[in-house]
Amino acid sequence: MMLSFFDQFMSPTYMGVPLIALAITLPWILYPAPTSRWINNRLVTLQGWFINRLNQQIFLPINQGGHKWAILLTSLMIFLITLNILGLLPYTFTPTTQLSLNMAFAVPLWLATVIIGMRNQPTAALGHLLPEGTPTPLIPVLIIIETISLFIRPLALGVRLTANLTAGHLLIQLIATAAFVLLPMMPTVAILTATVLFLLTLLEVAVAMIQAYVFVLLLSLYLQENV
C-alpha cells in the first residue's frame, strides 16, 4: 500500500492509545542531571554554559521583573530543541509538527504576558494599541488593526514553528525518495541527490535549533513590552 508523504505527521498510536504523550515525556530522560560534586563532567558543564549564554542573550534587554521567566523560557527552549532534533532521527515522530501542540505552548504564554502588562501597567499596555502622534481620523482604524495584530501573535508563533518543521521534513522525504528511485537507473545522479540530502539534513538540524530559539525570543519580546 502506498503511503502519503503526510502520514509521517500523524500521531502514532498503539492499541488505540495515542503515543504523543510518550513522545513529549521521554526527552526529559536524556538531560544530564547536576551532581553534588565540585567538578562536573563535560556534558553537564556544556549544558550549564549553553544555558548561561542563552539567558544572557535573551534576558539582557529585559528589566529585572522579567527575569522571573528565565527558568520557564530556558526550559521551554531546551525542550523544543530536543523535540525538533529527535524528530530528525529515522522512525521517530516530531510532536512539534502538530499545530495543536505548538498553540498549546504559544497561547498560554502569550496570554500570560498580556495579563501581566494589563495588571502592572495598564496605561502602557493599552498605549501599544495606538501609536503616538496618530491623526484623529485614523485612531479607530489603527486601534482595530493593532488589536488584530495583538491576537495574531500566538497564531504566528505556532504556525511558524509548525510550518518550518513540516516543510523541512517533507523536503527531506522527497529528496530521499528521489535518491532511492534514481539509484538503480542513474547511480551518479542518485549519489549527488544523497549528498544534497546530507547537506539538507545538516541544515534542518540548524533550523530545528533556530526555530526553538526564535519561538522563545519572540515570547521574550512580548514579555519585554509588558514588564
Report yes or no: 118 and 129 within 8 Å, Cβ to Cβ: no
Q: Please give the residue that has the higher pLDDT: either 169 or 129.
A: 169
Q: In this predicted model, which residue has the larger pLDDT, 166 or 22? A: 166
pLDDT above 90: residue 223: no
User: Confidence band (pLDDT; 50, 70, 90) for 120?
Assistant: confident
3-state SS, residue 17: strand
Predicted confidence at residue 3, as pLDDT, reads 56
pLDDT of amino acid 2: 45
Residue 76 burial (10 A CB sphere; 0-12, 13-18, 19+) = middle
The pLDDT assigned to 204 comes to 92
- What integer pLDDT is reported at residue 109 of this predicted model? 93
Listed residue (118, 97, 113, 224) closest to 170, CA to CA: 97
Contact indicator for 124, 117 with CB cutoff of 8 Å: yes
Which segments of the chain are extended strands (E)?
13-14, 17-18
Nearest to 125 by CA among 13, 8, 224, 17: 224
Is residue 100 within 8 A of residue 11, CB to CB? The reply is no
pTM equals 0.83
What's the whole-number mean pLDDT along residues 114-135? 80
Does residue 161 have a pLDDT over 60? Answer: yes
Instruction: Dig out the grid coordinates for 180 from the structure.
Output: 532511492
137: pLDDT strictly greater than 70: yes
Is pLDDT above 90 for 211?
A: yes
What is the β-pairing status of strands 13-14 and 17-18? antiparallel
Looking at the DSSP bridge assignments, the partners of residue 17 are 14
d(Cα 130, Cα 144) in Å, to the nearest integer? 9
Q: How confident is the model at residue 108 (pLDDT cuts 50, 70, 90)?
A: very high
Instruction: Inform me whether the pLDDT recorded for 200 exceeds 60.
Output: yes
Whole-number Å distance between alpha carbons of 52 and 194: 38
Q: What is the pLDDT of residue 5?
A: 65
pLDDT tens string 43-93: 778 878 888 888 888 877 777 777 888 888 888 988 899 889 988 888 888
Give the angle 95-98-104 at the CA atoms, nearest 5°: 90
